[in-house]
Amino acid sequence: MIKTPRGFTLLMSVVISGVLLTLGYEIYNLAVKEVELSSSGRESQFAFYSADTGIECALYLDTKQDAFATTSALTQVTCGTAVSPLTRTTVGTDYITTFAFSLGGGINTQCVDVRVTRQNPQKTIIESYGHNTCVLTNPRRLERAIRVTY
Amino acid sequence: MNKTLSAFTLLETLVAVAVLLMSLLGPFSIAQQSLKSAYYARDQVTAYYLAQEGLEFVRAIRDQNYLSGSSWLTGISTCTAVQCTVDMPNFVYATCSGPCTALKVSAVGGLFNQANGTPSKFVRSVSLMNVAGDPNQVIVTVTVSWISAGISRTFSLQERLFNWL
């Protein structure tokens, strides 16, 4: 009679609430992951189209101004919001031209690095690396790259 | 001793009800908020693919102009500094008089277009912008806007196209 368990209702309610809270927390976790995933997809678009702008610009410079030939006297280009200098190096038989520029679309400024390799005999490789933000320390910074060979 | 214990069951039940109520209300509102952000996540994925389609449309027009031997921005240049709607399945574009109309979802195939189907919540506008001093460069901006769980959202994607052919 005196041994009748006391406080069973309270124990039960604590156990049930524990289960419910865990469930709620997991649902919340799931939603946060979904938003993170879709946001990284969005940021990825910024990076991709920055890289694509780099490709477009390099194609333009090559077909219209022959900027990647060893004989080219061009020192700077205007692809994005400002004038950027061309850096030229020779590695073995490859003649490499690189330039970087930034774009103003979206909330952040996007940065693009373009590297053009002119091989001998005539072959061109354009590699464009687009970033969604120019801030190197940004944890959300990501890169999309495109390579064109012809 | 007996007196203090006699009221315990009632007190215990009251506390238990309070604890259960709290643990029910908490997860309930969390689930509600989570559902809202899940809808937002879903709509955002749709929006950025729609924006991508808008950019690819302008590029497709340019490439078509190259193939037909026309000047690179023939036709689509009417969208310079004004908002346009683009329709990929029907391959047409039109300038917006006033705010652009919402995209429609076709009954067959469920494709986003401007001509027929049930109206969706997404409004997409495409605009070209000239670059000062460079006629061979154009800035293409696509803006997708929609209302997700009562909050209006926009997604804007920008690219530069060059007249490289």
Among B13, B27, B44, beta carbon nearest to A20: B27
3-state secondary structure of B62: helix
- pLDDT above 70 (res B26): yes
Q: Are A98 and A58 in contact (CB under 8 A)?
A: no
Residues 6+ apart with CB under 8 A from B102: B119, B120, B121, B122, B123
Q: What is the pLDDT of residue A142?
A: 92
DSSP state of A55: H
What pLDDT digit, counting tens, does each position of A35-87 carry?
899 889 889 999 999 999 999 999 998 888 888 888 888 888 888 777 888 88
Q: Give B141's pLDDT tier (boundaries 50, 70, 90).
A: very high
Residue type, B55: L
B165 and A106 within 8 Å at the Cβ level: the answer is no
Give the DSSP H or E segment for A21. Answer: helix A8-65
Q: How far apart are the first and last CA of chain A?
A: 92
For chain B positions 7-66, those within 8 Å of chain A (CB to CB) are: 8-9, 12-13, 15-17, 19-20, 22-24, 26-28, 30-31, 33-35, 37-38, 40-42, 44-45, 48, 51-52, 55
Query: Hey, of A9, A33, A40, which one would you mutate to test binding to chain B, going by the most B CBs within 10 A of its CB?
Result: A9
| B157 in contact with A, Cβ within 8 Å | yes
pLDDT of residue B133: 82
Structure confidence at residue B1 (pLDDT): 46
Cβ contacts of residue B40 below 8 Å, gap of 6+? Answer: A35, A38, B148, B149, B151, B153
What is the Cα–Cα distance from B159 to A56, expressed in whole angstroms?
Answer: 10
Is the complex ipTM higher than 0.90? no
Specify the amino acid at residue B6.
Answer: S
Task: Return all residues near B152 (Cβ < 8 A) that are at least 6 apart.
Answer: B145, B146
How many Å apart are CA A46 and CA B79, to the nearest integer?
A: 22
Taking CB atoms and an 8 Å cut-off, how many pairs form between chains A and B? 127
Model confidence pLDDT, tens digit, residues A3-20 = 566 778 888 888 988 998
